[in-house]
Amino acid sequence: MPYPHHSPNSPQIQIPNLSFFSGNLFAMATLSNSTNIFWQDCQIGRAERQKLLNQKGCVVWITGLSGSGKSTLACSLSRELYSRGKLSYVLDGDNLRHGLNKDLGFKAEERTENIRRTGEVAKLFADAGLICVASLISPYRRDRDTCRSMLPDANFIEVFMNMPLELCEARDPKGLYKLARAGKIKGFTGIDDPYEPPLNCEIEIKQDGGVCPTPTVMAGQVVTYLEKEGFLEH
């Protein structure tokens, strides 16, 4: 079943000539200039792929400060799912910036485009029947909500790494906080750039009595949710 805004045979809206936007990637990204296009369906769809894999496609979106443990959770979760015979794929912000998003920096509009593109790719993976684990700072609530709105609501599972800045900064595995504090990186999230915590996330990972749960425990929290919501069976 195609998503509502991609419904087949829907009339194509004619968009005015946008050539005056040429060279402005971000203006172009928010508007579509494709006309006379049609949705193409195949006999083998999402339902058939999910049956084959005995799971339901979804997006687990992990958000949080640099150093909060997003990649650690993503990898631990992927490993745990693999051991249960479930297929997942990790989209890591750092890794995507080596390829698909290599043209983007860290200004607000570039982060927005980074999240939008990643959301579109995550949606494709979910449609392929996979459990897609996206781990990006994704500091803006509106950008995360845009990704949520691309999918049926229950299929977007937002996981908030609610770790204090002091812990992330003490970890500083890449030395980036140190550089940001020294003024050598401008616009670093949590230091001189904003992070907007989720208001209504599905899962929150936080310290318990000042102790951070282990990667296995964090992954277990997500697996329990996926199991309860029926994503690990067809």
Total residues contacting ligand PPS by CB under 6 A comes to 22
Q: Which amino acid appears at position 39 of this protein?
A: W
- Evaluate the CA torsion angle 25, 28, 29, 35 in order and state its sign: negative
| Contact flag: residue 160 with ligand PPS (CB under 6 A) | no
Question: What are the backbone dihedrals phi and psi of residue 101, each rounded to the nearest 5 degrees, phi first?
Answer: -110, 25
Sheet holding 156-162, edge to edge: 88-92, 131-135, 58-63, 156-162, 203-206
| Contact flag: residue 139 with ligand ADP (CB under 6 A) | no
Known catalytic membership, residue 68: no
| Contact flag: residue 41 with ligand PPS (CB under 6 A) | no
Total residues contacting ligand ADP by CB under 6 A comes to 15
Which is nearer to ligand PPS, 57 or 67 (by Cβ)?
67
Minimum distance from residue 192 beta carbon to ligand PPS (Å) = 9
Determine contact, residues 101/117, Cβ cutoff 8 Å.
yes
Of 33-41, 68-76, 145-153, 177-185, the window that binds ligand ADP (rule: CB under 6 A) is 68-76
From ligand ADP, ligand PPS, none, which one binds at residue 69 (CB under 5 to 8 Å depending on kind)?
Answer: ligand ADP
Q: Give me the count of residues in the chain.
A: 234
| Contact flag: residue 67 with ligand PPS (CB under 6 A) | yes
Site mask, ligand PPS, residues 94-133, x = CB under 6 A? x--x--------x----x--xx------------------
Q: How far apart are CA 136 and CA 134, in angstroms?
A: 6
Contact pick of 53, 108, 165, 176 for ligand PPS (by CB under 6 A): 176
Determine contact, residues 217/142, Cβ cutoff 8 Å.
no
| Contact flag: residue 85 with ligand ADP (CB under 6 A) | no
From ligand PPS, ligand ADP, none, which one binds at residue 215 (CB under 5 to 8 Å depending on kind)?
Answer: ligand ADP
Site mask, ligand ADP, residues 207-226, x = CB under 6 A? -----xxxx--x--------
Catalytic option among 32, 76, 138, 149: 138
Q: Which of residues 154-213 bind ligand ADP (CB under 6 A)?
A: 171, 173, 212-213
Q: How far apart are CA 69 and CA 71, in angstroms?
A: 6
Q: Which residues are catalytic?
A: 138
